[in-house]
Amino acid sequence: MADVARRAGVSTKTVSNVLSGNVPVSGATRERVLGAVDDLGYEINVTARILRRGRSGLIGLAVPELGQPYFGELADEVLAAARRHGLHVLIEPTGFAREHELAALRVPRRRLLDGLIFSPAALDQGDVAVLEGLDYPLVLLGEQIFSPRVDHVTMHNVDGARTATDLLLDAGRRHIAALGILSAPTAGASRLRFQGYREALAARGIGVDERLLGRADEGWHRANGARAMASVLDSGVAVDGVVAFNDALAIGAMHELQVRGHAIPRDVAVVGFDDIEDARFSVPSLTTIDPGRREVAQVAVDVLRRRLDERETPHLTGTPPVRHLAALRLVERDSTPPRRA
């Protein structure tokens, strides 16, 4: 930067002013500085800037795994939203591991990241104190952990699962399997979606049949959807409907059903959750719950950005924690029978 200043015949401060744009600089000087920058092929050293400013313009996104379509698509949305605000995103896949999630929480404290958007999968309500003790802006995704002192952006899991189950019940199905149950009692989305399933059944006076519950403790992947479906079918119980707790499970389940000769939706109707791109092109296309992924991403970035701004102006701090529930939408496709008009 000193070289640029020399060449332009100004001080480094003026160069800094031109490049940061914070302080107005007269037209002629500006041109000269930019000319010198071009001549020398100068690029600013971001690290020094961050050190000096105390803000990096980088936010973290901690999610389990990008290969899972839901998170890959979510990450794209977060990255796009962040870019609109001039922020960059460091993605930290935590692989469903407690230690990786804890490690991810420590990164911003080291001052490289200004804040964190965190979708917990291994940490649970018992770890809420860890999250409340953090001294940087944090936005929590999902309903795995709740704290009145932390910003949340999520969706109404219970409602979504109830809607999905109701759709099958309305179609006259009475032997509805639920796929994606986790053995661990604390797991957020699984428990809530199961609750929605149970509530929908209960509203029609139907009890939960254990044989219809498909576990997926190794993660909500397609392979586990197929496996869970297989174990339900192997139990010998009659099945005419499936509520899968995400689309990947649903697609795995549809695969297994069709391999065994069950027609979808005639013999078995299937509903998923997430509305990933696959859902539109599976065979048959998958009826599912659109959880407002884009809205979640945008709001999460927005809340985080607001907290970062508040930090800059300490006297304005103190907005109460946000709890945003994104709108859900039922997307009906060909894996469920068309509704009677």
Partner DNA sequence: CTGAAAGCGCTAACAC
Partner DNA sequence: GTGTTAGCGCTTTCAG
DSSP-H helix ranges across 85-127: 98-106
Q: Please state the separation of Cα 339 from the chain's center in Å.
A: 31
Could you count the other beta carbons within 10 Å of the beta carbon of residue 41?
A: 6
Q: Which residue(s) pair with 63 in the sheet?
A: 93
Name which of residues 51 to 70 contact DNA (CB under 7 A): 51-54
Instruction: Report in angstroms how near the CB of residue 252 gets to a copy of itself at its nearest.
Output: 5
Query: In whole angstroms, how far apart are CA 69 and each of 53, 142, 247, 261, 293?
Result: 36, 16, 9, 27, 12
Would you count residue 16 as binding DNA (CB under 7 A)? yes
Residue 301, classified by CB atoms within 10 Å of its CB into exposed (0-12), middle (13-18) or buried (19+), is: buried
Stretch that binds a copy of itself, among 12-20, 179-187, 220-228, 235-243 (CB under 8 A): 220-228
Q: What is the DSSP string of 30-47?
A: HHHHHHHHHHHT----HH
Query: In whole angstroms, how far apart are CA 120 and each of 92, 181, 227, 259, 326?
Result: 12, 17, 25, 35, 18
Would you count residue 109 as binding DNA (CB under 7 A)? no
Q: What is the DSSP string of 273-314?
A: SS--THHHHSSSPPBEEE--HHHHHHHHHHHHHHHHHHHHSG
By beta-carbon proximity to a copy of itself, the closer residue of 106 and 315 is 106
Kindly tell me which residue out of 21, 24, 67, 338 binds a copy of itself, with binding defined by CB under 8 A.
67
Instruction: Answer yes or no: are the C-beta atoms of 304 and 272 closer than 8 Å.
Output: no
Would you count residue 285 as binding a copy of itself (CB under 8 A)? yes
Cα separation, 340 vs 169, whole angstroms: 13
By beta-carbon proximity to a copy of itself, the closer residue of 75 and 271 is 75
278 contact choice in DNA, a copy of itself, none (CB below 5 to 8 Å, kind-dependent): a copy of itself
Would you count residue 202 as binding DNA (CB under 7 A)? no
20 contact choice in a copy of itself, DNA, none (CB below 5 to 8 Å, kind-dependent): DNA
Name which of residues 23 to 52 contact DNA (CB under 7 A): 23-26, 28-30, 44-45, 48-49, 51-52
Instruction: Answer yes or no: are the C-beta atoms of 110 and 156 closer than 8 Å.
Output: no
By beta-carbon proximity to a copy of itself, the closer residue of 38 and 277 is 277
Q: What is the DSSP string of 215-251?
A: E-TT-S-HHHHHHHHHHHHHTT---SEEEESSHHHHH
By beta-carbon proximity to a copy of itself, the closer residue of 200 and 304 is 304
- Comparing C-alpha atoms, which of 228, 289, 276, 218 is closest to residue 253? 228
109 contact choice in DNA, a copy of itself, none (CB below 5 to 8 Å, kind-dependent): a copy of itself
By beta-carbon proximity to DNA, the closer residue of 13 and 84 is 13
Would you count residue 317 as binding DNA (CB under 7 A)? no
Would you count residue 315 as binding DNA (CB under 7 A)? no
Query: Which element (helix H / strand E) includes 325?
Result: strand 323-326
Kindly tell me which residue out of 28, 110, 210, 314 binds a copy of itself, with binding defined by CB under 8 A.
110
9 contact choice in a copy of itself, DNA, none (CB below 5 to 8 Å, kind-dependent): DNA
Would you count residue 283 as binding a copy of itself (CB under 8 A)? yes
Would you count residue 231 as binding a copy of itself (CB under 8 A)? no
By beta-carbon proximity to DNA, the closer residue of 2 and 341 is 2
Instruction: Answer yes or no: are the C-beta atoms of 88 and 50 closer than 8 Å.
Output: no
Would you count residue 69 as binding a copy of itself (CB under 8 A)? yes
Cα separation, 256 vs 284, whole angstroms: 13
Residues making contact with DNA (CB under 7 A): 1-2, 9-14, 16-17, 19-20, 22-26, 28-30, 44-45, 48-49, 51-54
Residues making contact with a copy of itself (CB under 8 A): 43-48, 50-51, 56, 58, 65-69, 71-73, 75-76, 79-80, 88-93, 106, 109-112, 221-223, 225-226, 251-252, 254-255, 258, 277-278, 280-283, 285
